[in-house]
Amino acid sequence: MTTDSVAPAGGPRKPSIYDVADRAGVSHMTVSRVLNGHPNIRASTRDKVMKAIDEMSYTRSSIARALATNRTMRIGAIVDNPGFFGPNSVLRAIEVAARENGYAVSSFSAGEAEDRRVDAGVMELLTQGVDALCVIAPRASSLDLLRQQAIGLPTLVVKEEPDEQMHTASVDQRAGATAAVRHLIDLGHRKILHVAGPPDWFDAKARTEAWRAALEEEGLPVVAPVIGDWSSDSGYAFGQTLDLGDATAVFVANDQMALGLLHGFAERGIRVPDDVSVVGFDDAPDARHYLPPLTTVRQDFTLLGKVVIGELLAAIEGAETEARELIQPELQVRASTAAPRA
C-alpha cells in the first residue's frame, strides 16, 4: 500500500494518488501537478483528474506525504521590508496557496541589520529543513547576497526581470506603470511627474523606467523623479513641498505614498483632480476610500501566490517549470484623475 494516504487499522484502504491516476488515465505525476496547482496543465486533463478525485473522495495526508517523500512540507520565504503593503500581501497570498496544497510557510524578515540580511535568512530557513525558497520584494543588494549562497534547493524570486540563476514570478510592473501613464496621457496631460520608490528595489526601478519610456514615446518632457521610501510620510512630505510648475499629473509608485501626497496637497489647497491628477500603484484595500478615491494599478496578489507555490512545488517534484511567470495588472480608474483644466 502506498504511504500517500493512510488507512485506519482494520478499515478499508483509502484511495491513493495512484488510484486517482488510474481512474483518470494519467500518470501519478500528472495528478500531483494538478493537486499542486501547476499552471502548465491542460484544462481537459485537469478536469479529468478533478473528476476522479471527486468520484473517489480522495484526500491527501500531509503527514503521509512527508514520510513518503522525506520532505518537511514547508516553504521558506524571505521578505524585504514586510511592513509595506505589497510585500506583506505577497507573503499572505503565498501562505494561503501553500496551505491549500498541504504546505506551511516559514518566513524571515530581511533588513539592513547584519543578522537580518538575506544571507542570514537563508541559513536560518535551511536549518528548518525547508523544501524550497522564495524571496519576496527583493532589493538589488539583497539579491546579490542571495546569489553568493550555495542553496541547493528550488528557489524563486518574486521580481519582474528574468534571472539566469533562479526562477522568477511577478505582476508585470512595467505593464502596470505604462497603463497608469497612458491613462493620464489619454486624458490630455502633457507634463506628468513621478514620485518613485527606492531605486534599489526592482519594482521601483521597473515602474520608473516604464513611466519614462511612456513619456518619451509621446515626445513629452521627462522631469527627474523625486525618490520616496514607500511610506505615506514620504508622500506627505512631497505633497507639502513638491513644485508642480506646469505639471498637471503625478504618477506615484505606490498607494501609501499617494495617500500622503493627497494629504500634503490638501493642506496646501491643491485640489485633486481639479488642479492635479494623481495615480497610485497596488490598489490597497483602502485606496477606494481615499479623498478622492484613488485611481491606481491593481496587482492580483492572490493569483501571484498561487503561481509562486505552483512553480515551487513543481520544481520540488522535478517537473518542468517556467523560468519566468508574469501576471497582468489592471488599472482601476477612480476620482483622483480627470482631464486637465483648460
Indicate the CATH number for domain 69-170+301-327. Answer: 3.40.50.2300
pLDDT tens by residue, 10-31: 445 667 777 888 899 998 778 7
pLDDT the model gives residue 39: 65
Residue boundaries of the structural domains of the chain: 17-67, 69-170+301-327, 173-299
So what's the pLDDT on residue 298?
98
Average the pLDDT over 81-103 and give the result. 91
Which pLDDT does position 340 carry in this prediction?
97
**Phi, psi of 31, deg, nearest 5:** -60, -45
Q: What is the CA radius of gyration of the chain?
A: 23
pLDDT digits 0-9 by tens, 191-210: 999 999 999 999 999 999 99
Helices of type H across the chain:
17-24, 28-35, 43-56, 62-69, 85-100, 118-127, 140-147, 173-187, 202-217, 232-241, 255-268, 301-316
* CATH, domain 173-299, list 3.60.20.10, 3.40.50.2300, 1.10.3720.10, 3.30.70.1400: 3.40.50.2300
DSSP category for residue 306: H
Task: List pLDDT tens digits, range 229-286.
Answer: 999 999 999 999 999 999 999 999 999 999 999 999 999 999 999 999 999 999 999 9
Q: Is the dihedral of CA 81, 282, 132, 206 positive or negative?
A: negative
Confidence of residue 305 (pLDDT cuts 50, 70, 90): very high
- ∠ at Cα 335 (330, 336), nearest 5°? 85
Would you tell me how many other CB atoms lie within 10 Å of the CB of residue 159? 25
- Cβ contact 338:273 at 8 Å: yes
Which has the closest alpha carbon to 159: 92, 105, 90?
90
pTM of the model: 0.78
Tell me the C-alpha distance between 185 and 180, whole Å: 9
Tell me the three state secondary structure of residue 225: coil
d(CA 147, CA 120): 13
* CATH topology identical between 69-170+301-327 and 173-299: yes
Among 177-191, 196-210, 313-327, the least confident range: 313-327
Mean predicted confidence (pLDDT) in 322-328: 87
Q: Which of 195, 256, 203 is nearest to 227 (CA)?
A: 195
Residue 115: exposure state from Cβ atoms within 10 A (0-12, 13-18, ≥19): exposed
Query: Domain 17-67 adopts which CATH fold?
Result: 434 Repressor (Amino-terminal Domain) (1.10.260)
